[in-house]
Amino acid sequence: MQIAATGFDGLFTVETAPSRDERGYFHRLYDVDAFAAAGILFTPRQSGISHNAKRGTLRGLHFQAAPASQAKLVRCLSGSIFDVVVDIRAGSATRGKWFGLELTAETPRALFVPDGFAHGFITLSDDADVLYELSDGERPGCAAGLRWNDPAIGIDWPFAPLVINPRDDGWPDWKGN
């Protein structure tokens, strides 16, 4: 497991190498010791899969506010996505900046997102499944979001969404406060 910094404090890419043989492969998705060695204290408390039937489906930008803010480990299990996070942490040197990368089922890469980031993605293929490992469960009243195309953030999406939930399309612009 190779855990690499991204230039955003606490945000890491996680590269893994499946062990392959004639039966197929075994793929280690999370290792508490490898994370701890990289200085990441992360204990998954909840897992979920987002299935996205159509290319161009946009989900996000989501986050949970305190006291239920979440760290997450995000991995694409089938298909491909363009995964994006926005740093919304007060006092962060990268506050208001975004980071994006492609995650695919064929590339054994995940993104570890600390709490204090908004997260979203757009599917680059039909039938994209995304696995979330979360440090905390969803709590009523803590769910929040930012508008995916807020000009103050300026995310360079690969293309405009073709499928978007009205809730995701209606999140407010980020005020930076």
Catalytically active residues, by annotation: 62, 132
Rounded Cα distance between 167 and 146, Å, is 10
Please name the residues in contact with 123: beta carbons below 8 A apart, sequence gap of 6 or more: 52, 54, 55, 56, 57, 58, 79, 80, 81
Q: Are 102 and 124 in contact (CB under 8 A)?
A: yes
Which of left, alpha, beta for 149 (phi over 0: left; psi -120 to 50: alpha)? Answer: alpha
